[in-house]
């Protein structure tokens, strides 16, 4: 089955058996618990909704299919999914993380999990040959975001996975920015894929959610255990919302790609724009790797204006259709100032080290008419 078909059908198969209702949409199973006819055996396969729920299983089956994985687990947010992965580790273990990651991920690592005896190194290993100098004897996970948030760096997934596998280190790819439509890390050798479903996969700014996808059965069993033991599961209603969003993922991603390319072309030639970050640009350092491992360059674009931070803020506040808001990957175009919004929890000197300046702007190009998006940006630039 091809991607767009899987997105619509997997998990939503109508139950046409005797007694089945034939719904073409997975119903929302709100029951918190499931009755059984025998004490020692769940009669219909379900016990208690934290450990298993029909609507959640439908979403999880769909997500596993989209990522070409075998097992998926849905969580209450992207950060809840990320936390559950880190709970695979033990005190004293080390994580090597790409230096440019979502500010909330970095905050979780450095301000929460560090206190539980895990160690973290943030480094730019976009050139996979640089990995050797950063791994330690106790390294257990290499954490990749690609494209990264917000600088849109590209990490060579296949090369990193090859290196990690030889050393017995797990590779985790946060695939939120690409979505499984554009990139499938498990097929490139990654052990674990994580998503904030709040973004492209859900796509409509109406559900905060996350997921973990794996191939390996032993890993899957441990993650399932943690999902239940920790309890940060996704509610049946939100599972339904995400399943509904997924049905249009393929068409939405095509439009995000097209609209972003138009925005990039416009910004790249504008005299008030200093720099554009987009992996689709031939001048982007990771362009050839992006071309190899992605089927499109996505809807995220970052850029810097000529001038100072005040000018940057003035531009953002003069936009009319594009909303200033955190989040991304949704039908509406959103714009933000990472230094004071999504990445404000990272100390300024750390931000400076990775090149995240106070004049950086990140836009999540939505699927509105491209002309309206371009006109809004143009009128905003005229005001500064
Ligand atoms: O917001 P939540 O669903 O918990 O997902 C966290 C998360 C994980 N990974 C990446 C790459 C992310 O971008 C995010 C959330 N990011 C934003 C809210 C943002 O505006 O960048």
pLDDT digits 0-9 by tens, 59-70: 999 999 999 999
Cα of 209 from ligand 1 centre, angstroms: 10
**Which ligand 1 atom is the nearest neighbour of the CA of 341?**
20
Which residues are CB-contacts of 339 (< 8 A; sequence separation ≥ 6)? 309, 348, 351, 356, 357, 358, 360
The pLDDT assigned to 316 comes to 98
The domains of the chain, with CATH numbers, are: 3-246 (3.40.640.10), 250-382 (3.90.1150.10)
What pLDDT digit, counting tens, does each position of 195-239 carry?
A: 999 999 999 999 999 999 999 999 999 999 999 999 999 999 999
143 pocket-lining for ligand 1 (C-beta < 6 Å): no
The predicted model gives 237-264 an average pLDDT of: 98
- Give the residue, out of 99, 107, 153, 198, with the most ligand 1 atoms within 8 A of its beta carbon, to mutate for a pocket test: 198
Largest distance between two CA atoms of the chain: 73
Residue 319 above 90 pLDDT? yes
Query: Catalytic residue numbers?
Result: 50, 102, 174, 199
For ligand 1, atom 16: residue with the closest CA: 327
- Residue whose C-alpha is closest to residue 46's, from 27, 29, 62, 71: 29
- pLDDT attached to residue 127: 83
pLDDT band of 129, cuts 50, 70, 90? confident
Residue indicated by tokens 């052990």:
191
Among 78, 103, 360, which residue has the most ligand 1 atoms within 8 Å of its CB, making it the best to mutate?
78
When the pLDDT of each residue in the chain is averaged and rounded to a whole number, the result is 97
* Burial letters 47-65, b for 16+ CB under 10 A, else e: eebbbbbbbbbbbbbbbbb
- pLDDT beyond 90 at 128: no
CA of 105 to the centre of ligand 1 (A): 8
- The yes-or-no verdict on residue 51 having pLDDT over 90 is yes
CA distance 10 to 64: 9
Distance, in Å, from the CA atom of 384 to the CA atom of 361, rounded to the nearest integer, reads 15
Is the CB of residue 198 below 6 angstroms from any atom belonging to ligand 1?
yes
Reported as a pLDDT band with limits 50, 70 and 90, residue 176 is: very high
As a whole-number percent, the residues of the chain with pLDDT over 70 amount to: 100
Reading the block at residue 116, the tokens are 């539980």
Q: Is pLDDT of 346 > 90?
A: yes
**148-175 tens-digit pLDDT:** 999 999 999 999 999 999 999 999 999 9
**pLDDT, tens digit, 9 for 90 and up, residues 262-305:** 999 999 999 999 999 999 999 999 999 999 999 999 999 999 99
Query: pLDDT at residue 26 above 90?
Result: yes
Q: Which of 99, 153, 199 to mutate to test the pocket of ligand 1 (most atoms within 8 A of CB)?
A: 199
Instruction: Judge if the upstream peptide bond of residue 150 is cis by omega within 30 degrees of 0.
Output: yes
| 359 CB near ligand 1 (under 6 Å) | no
pLDDT at 130 over 90: no
Looking from the CA of 178 toward its CB, the CA atoms found within 13 Å total 31
């Amino acid at each position: 089955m091809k991607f767009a078909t899987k997105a619509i059908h997997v998990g939503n198969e109508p139950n046409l058996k005797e007694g089945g209702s034939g719904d073409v949409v997975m119903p929302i199973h709100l029951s918190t618990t499931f009755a059984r006819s025998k004490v020692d055996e769940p009669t219909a396969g379900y016990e208690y909704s934290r450990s298993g729920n029909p609507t959640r299983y439908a979403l999880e089956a769909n997500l596993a299919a989209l990522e070409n994985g075998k097992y998926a687990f849905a969580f209450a947010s992207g950060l809840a999914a990320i936390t559950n992965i880190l709970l695979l580790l033990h005190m004293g273990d080390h994580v090597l993380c790409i230096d440019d990651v979502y500010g909330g991920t970095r905050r979780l690592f450095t301000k929460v999990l560090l206190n539980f005896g895990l160690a973290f190194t943030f480094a730019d290993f976009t050139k996979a040959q640089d990995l050797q100098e950063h791994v330690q004897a106790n390294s257990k996970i290499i954490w990749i975001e690609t494209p990264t948030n917000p600088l849109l760096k590209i990490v060579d997934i296949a090369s990193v996975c090859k290196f990690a596998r030889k050393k017995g280190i797990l590779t985790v790819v946060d695939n939120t920015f690409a979505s499984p439509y554009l990139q499938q890390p498990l097929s490139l050798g990654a052990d674990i894929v994580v998503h904030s479903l709040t973004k492209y996969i859900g796509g409509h700014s109406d559900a905060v959610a996350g997921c973990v996808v794996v191939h390996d059965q032993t890993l899957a069993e441990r993650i399932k255990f943690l999902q239940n033991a920790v309890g940060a599961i996704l509610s049946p209603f939100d599972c339904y919302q995400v399943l509904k969003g997924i049905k249009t993922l393929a068409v939405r991603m095509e439009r995000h790609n097209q609209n972003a390319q138009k925005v990039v072309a416009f910004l790249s030639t504008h005299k008030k724009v200093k720099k554009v970050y987009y992996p689709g640009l031939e001048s982007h350092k990771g362009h050839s790797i992006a071309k190899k491992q992605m089927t499109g360059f996505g809807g995220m674009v970052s850029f810097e204006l000529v001038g100072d931070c005040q000018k940057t803020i003035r531009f953002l506040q003069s936009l009319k259709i594009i909303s200033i808001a955190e989040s991304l990957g949704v039908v509406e175009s959103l714009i933000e100032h990472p230094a004071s919004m999504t990445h404000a929890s990272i100390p300024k000197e750390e931000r400076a080290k990775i090149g995240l300046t106070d004049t950086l702007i990140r836009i999540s190009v939505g699927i509105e008419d491209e002309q309206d998006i371009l006109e809004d940006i143009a009128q905003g630039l005229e005001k500064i």
